[in-house]
Amino acid sequence: MVSFPVRCTFAIAALAVAVTAAAQSQVYRYNDADGRVVYSDKPPPPNAKNVQTKRLGANFVETSQPSLAAQQASERYPVTLFTFPCGDVCQNAEALLNKRGVPFAIVDVQTDQQGMARMQAITGDDKAPVLAVGDKLIVKGYNESRWQATLDEAGYPKTPPPRVSAPVGRVTNAPPAPVADGTRALTPPPKGGDYPK
């Protein structure tokens, strides 16, 4: 059992910490005697004009690095998205991985012949998108609930820190896949557009 003097000491210490924290989160804006605008964490002098008090919220650092849990899951179960420009379905598949902050590599099976062969070896099929989480967890076709469950099973966190970087790897300079007779090849738009130089 804690005695009364010890409890009072704890209460006074907690109050002192709270007051110090509150004082540090307050900023003053005012005009000094020469008319310059001054921002300071110290109270303004008596001759200051247009004094305004500002409260600051907590500081935080935004990072594009995956969380520790995502890094560990990525080491055990690296994620590869086998895809091609298929519209909303493929965009939603990529958006789901970005939303969860999952580091992943993209293989465009339309332009990467080796990537297509790798996907066919894994799935026995030539239909994309395919989510490969490690060697054992393979999901053919995009189904949000199945993809979420697979990522959960691999240990990827559900709510990541904000992500501002691009995916881990995107295969872009692969030679185009051969085209069978009677079909036409889809070519990506030229890079850089037609902006004046």
Fold classification of 68-170 (topology level):
Glutaredoxin (3.40.30)
For residue 129, say if its preceding peptide bond is cis, omega within 30 degrees of 0: yes
Domain boundaries, the chain: 4-55, 68-170
Whether pTM exceeds 0.85 = no
Which secondary structure element, helix H or strand E, spans residue 8, and what is its range? helix 4-24
Q: What is the pLDDT of residue 135?
A: 84
Q: Tokens for 178?
A: 């051969």
pLDDT of residue 166: 55
DSSP secondary structure, 116-140, as one string: HHHHHHHHSS--S-EEEETTTEEEE
Q: Is 108 in contact with 83 (CB distance < 8 Å)?
A: yes
Question: What torsion, rounded to 10 degrees, do the Cα atoms 159, 95, 137, 69 define?
Answer: -30
* Average pLDDT per block of 10 residues along the chain, 197 residues long: 56 55 67 85 86 67 62 84 87 87 86 89 87 88 90 81 54 56 56 57
pLDDT of residue 85: 85
Task: Determine the pLDDT at residue 191.
Answer: 62
Helices (H), 25-112: 68-76, 88-100
Nearest of 75, 37, 52 to residue 155 by alpha carbon: 75
Residue 146: what pLDDT?
A: 92
Q: State residue 66's pLDDT score.
A: 62
Element holding 154 (H helix, E strand): helix 144-154
Look-up of token digits 């919220």: 57
